[in-house]
Amino acid sequence: MFSRISFSNWILAFIAFSVLAFLYLPIIVVVLYSFNPDTVNSFPMNGFSLKWYQVMFENEALIASLGHSVAVALISTSIATLLGVPLAFAMNRYAFPGKRLLERVVLLPLILPGILTGIAMLTFFQMLGIPQSMLAVVIGHSTFLMAIMMPQVYAQLKRLDSSIQEAALDLGASGIQAFFYVIFPNIRTAIFGAALLSFTLSLDEIPVTYFLNGVFSTLPIQIWGMTRNGITPQVNAISTLIFAFSLTAILISAWLGRKGE
Partner 1 sequence: MNDIMVEIRNVSKSFGKTSVVNDLNLSVHSGEFLTLLGPSGCGKTTLLRMIAGFEYPDKGDILIQGKSILSIPPNRREVNTVFQSYALFPHLTVRENIAFGLKMKKVPREAMDRRVDAAIELTQLESLALRKPAKLSGGQQQRVAIARSLVNEPKVLLLDEPLGALDLQLRRQMQISLRRLQRRLGMTCVYVTHDQEEAMTLSDRIAIMNAGRIEQLGTPAEIYGTPATPFAARFLGDTNFLSGTLQRAADGTMNRFITATSEIPLPTNVELLKEKYQSLSIRPEYISLHHEKPTDFALQGKIIEENFLGLFSRITVSLASGEHLFVLIPSSAKSPYTVGDNIFATWDPAQAHLIGMDNI
Interface residue list for partner 1 (CB under 8 A): 160-161, 163-164, 166-174, 177, 181-182, 185-186
- State how far Cα 70 lies from the chain centre: 12
CB of 174 to partner 1, least distance (A): 6
CB of 164 to partner 1, least distance (A): 5
Would you say 26 or 185 has its CB closer to partner 1? 185
CB of 19 to partner 1, least distance (A): 36
Would you say 47 or 172 has its CB closer to partner 1? 172
Would you say 132 or 186 has its CB closer to partner 1? 186
CA distances from 15 to 4, 19, 22, 148, 182 (A): 17, 6, 10, 31, 46
CB of 165 to partner 1, least distance (A): 9
Residues with Cβ within 8 Å of 144's Cβ and at least 6 positions away in sequence, in order, are 109, 110, 117, 201, 208
Pick from 75, 83, 200: which is nearest to 149 by CA?
Answer: 83
Would you say 48 or 181 has its CB closer to partner 1? 181
Q: 103: helix, coil or strand?
A: helix
CA distance 236 to 28: 10
Would you say 185 or 225 has its CB closer to partner 1? 185
CB of 169 to partner 1, least distance (A): 5
Dihedral sign (CA 104, 105, 106, 111): positive
